[in-house]
Amino acid sequence: KAGVTQTPRYLIKTRGQQVTLSCSPISGHRSVSWYQQTPGQGLQFLFEYFSETQRNKGNFPGRFSGRQFSNSRSEMNVSTLELGDSALYLCASSLARDRGNGYTFGSGTRLTVV
Amino acid sequence: AQTVTQSQPEMSVQEAETVTLSCTYDTSESNYYLFWYKQPPSRQMILVIRQEAYKQQNATENRFSVNFQKAAKSFSLKISDSQLGDTAMYFCAFMKHMSNFGNEKLTFGTGTRLTIIP
C-alpha cells in the first residue's frame, strides 16, 4: 500500500511569505502528526490531528497552524516566514488506536527561507 | 516532561560487525513506549524496533535487538551482522501511553550517525 506522501519535496520561500505543506497519510490512518527537524533543535513535535480536530500541540508560535480534512489528509501552514523556519518538516500517520505500534513517516518537505 | 539522550553523535563499524547504540531517557511515567527510528539520506524516518515498557522481554527484529533496562531507564539498540544499508542516522524516541487522546507525542533524542564501512 502507498506510504505517507508529502508534497512538495522542496520549497524555497522568502522571509515574510507564507507556506502550505501537504500530507496524505496511509489509507486507513486517521491520525496525522507533524514534526520539525533542524540541525540545532533536532526533531520537535508540532501538532497532531485526528478526525479533523487538533488533539495535541507542541510549543510553537501561532504562526504555525494546521488542519485535517475529512479524508484524513492534512496541511500545515506557516505564516510570516522567518529564516529560522528553514527545516525539514516531517509528517507521520498512524492508526489512532494503535500509536504504540509506531508512526509511519513521510520523506518530508525541505523548506528553505531566504 | 520527558527527555531522551543519545550520547554518541557518531559511530562507525566495519561491515558484518556488531554495533550497539546507546539511549537513556528520563520520565516519571510507568507505562510508555520506546522506539528506534532510522533516517537514511532519503530523509524518511523508518521504524526499526519498538518496546513496550510493561514487557520485560527485549524486542528483536531480525538483526536488530534492544537491551531495555527499565530501572536504569536505558534502551540500547544492537545491530548484528551490520550491512552497508544500515548506514543512517538513528533516533531513539519515547512516547507515553494513554488510553485516550492526550498529551501523546514522540520525544526524540539527538540521534547517532552510524556509518558502516565496507
pLDDT grade for B1, boundaries at 50, 70 and 90: confident
Which pLDDT value is given to residue A60? Answer: 96
Residue A70 in contact with partner chain B when CB distance is under 8 A: no
User: Given pLDDT bands bounded at 50, 70 and 90, which one contains residue A97?
Assistant: low
- CB atoms B52 and A107 under 8 Å: no
Closest by CA position to B2, among listed B72, B104, B113, B116: B104
| Chain A residues within an 8 Å CB radius of B52 | 100
Chain B touched by A101 (CB under 8 Å): yes
Give the nearest chain A residue to B97 (CA atoms). Answer: A100
Least confident piece of the model among A46-60, A62-76, B26-40, B90-104: B90-104
DSSP string, A56-107: EE-S--TTEEEEE-TTS-EEEEE-S--GGG-EEEEEEEE-GGGGGG--EE--
Report CB contact under 8 Å: A43, B102.
Answer: no
Helix (H, G, I), strand (E, B) or coil at B118: coil
Question: What are the tens digits of pLDDT across the range B56-115?
Answer: 899 999 999 999 999 999 999 999 999 999 999 999 999 988 766 666 789 999 999 999
Q: Rounded mean pLDDT of B40-44? A: 90
